[in-house]
Amino acid sequence: MGLTKKGKNLWFFEDLYTDATYGFQVSRVIVPETDTGFQKLMILETDRFGRVLVLDGIVQLTEEDEGIYHEWIAHWPLFALRKPAQHVLIIGGGDCGVAREVLRHKSIKRVTMVEIDRMVCDLCRQYMPSVSEGVYEDPRFKLIIGDGAEVIRQMKGKCDVIVIDSTDPIGPARSLFNTDFYQSVYDALTDGGITIHQTGALILQPFEAPGSWRQIERSFDDVRVVQFSSVMYMGGPFSLTAGSKGKGVFRNAERNALKAYKKAGFKTSWYSPHISAIPYPEFQKRLETDKYGEEIVIDIELPANSRPGAKQVEKWADQTCAAIKMKAFGEPIAASDKLVDGETLVQYVETSAINYRRYGRMAALNCFTCAALPVEDAIRSSIEFFKSGQAICWHLPRGSFADIKKIRKNTKIFEYNPTTAKISKVFQPQLVESAEAFARDFPFFRKKGTDEFELVMDIYDCDYAKISSPAVVARWAGKEFPKYTGLKTVGKADAPDFGHAKKKTAGPSVVQLLKGGSNISHYSVNWLMIVVNVVVRQRFSLEKAVRRTMKYFQGKYAVCWLLPRGSLNHSLKQIAANTYIFTVESK
Is the sign of the CA dihedral 503, 345, 295, 433 positive or negative? negative
Which of 165, 168, 222, 458 is flagged as catalytic? 165
- CA nearest to 45, candidates 21, 10, 5: 10
With contact defined as beta carbons under 8 Å apart, do 519 and 545 qualify?
A: no
User: What DSSP letter does each residue of 524-587 carry, written as one string?
Assistant: ETTTTEEEEEEEESS---HHHHHHHHHHHHT--EEEEEEEEES-TT--HHHHHHT-EEEEEE--
C-alpha distances out from residue 335 to 219, 237, 509, 587, Å: 44, 45, 18, 36
241: Cα separation from own chain's centroid: 15
Instruction: Give how far Cα 174 sits from Cα of 10, 342, 381, 454, Å.
Output: 32, 41, 43, 33
> For the chain, how far is it from start to end, CA to CA, in angstroms?
44
CA 309 to chain CA centroid, Å, is: 36
Helix (H) or strand (E) holding 225: strand 222-229
The SS3 of residue 212 is helix
Burial class (CB in 10 A: 0-12, 13-18, 19+), 36: middle
Q: How far apart are CA 362 and CA 383, in angstroms?
A: 12
* Helices of type H across 401-494: 404-410, 434-438, 464-467, 470-475, 481-485
Helices (H) then strands (E): counts for the chain = 18, 29
HSE-CB at 305 with a 13 A cutoff on CA atoms is 0
Look up 403 and say whether it is catalytic: no
Residues noted as catalytic = 165
